[in-house]
Structure 1
């Protein structure tokens, strides 16, 4: 019985989940597969696909190649899922990534609302550096352009540089200078 289970599992993984058009396509000459961050089933699948797309950017027009290379980016958990897909069930890179993201949607990260940032306050005993670090981490998790609101949130406008701050980059630079002075 044990051999039968192993045999079926090996049969399943030896079948291609891709249609004949994808499976039959040739790799481009001198193709070197880039290194990928392995998907562990715990991070946002859309971020993983985005990372994959960035690494494969020069080959992004070759959708068959994208399909063939994508299964090399998951770790053991997601590889088991890939191996369970039906043979000849994937006919495009778009379909592959949609199926992948649908399967691991529970790991998706959603942008935080602006209220999360507005309600952020310095904790008792927290250093200014730790607070600023938490603030910028939260700021980066919010969708939208709230630079002006962020600049006006800090009453540091002139005290850090002696002139009005007009961009988030200037604000961050000023805060970094202020943190260094406070640390010394």
Structure 2
């Protein structure tokens, strides 16, 4: 009986101590919670009927042509997914671009910019730097290093998982968890 009384008296004390996990983190004013406003699928819910949704540049995945983008402009700013093909009609190319456009939120959360190059004769900086043959998918980290090369299309999930293993991404995730 004394044991039960001691346990009942200890419950409020244990509850006050918590479970050892860190509590909520106070974010600096104006800071945004990564993934806030996204549903379980990693996309934003449709606007309520009658409301007007105004798309912003942040709501769209940036897809640039190789001739319009220089590697230096993305250094320490964005991760680049470069998609090469010998022609825009290449089925692997169209499948890859469709996949990238189908789930933009997952890529945007990882600071991804897509660069496409379907002109082998054009001799873009990207082709000179990466030397692809036929269809090729190349993932470049923010430090400018090539992290992944694939000869076949990848799903957004596969790309996101690969990026999440990059040291720079692990650091970003850690900072986000600390509210920095």
Going by fraction, where is strand more abundant, 1 or 2? 2
TM-score range, shorter chain: under 0.3
Going by fraction, where is helix more abundant, 1 or 2? 1
TM-score, normalised with respect to structure 1: 0.23
Larger Rg: 1
TM-score, normalised with respect to structure 2: 0.24
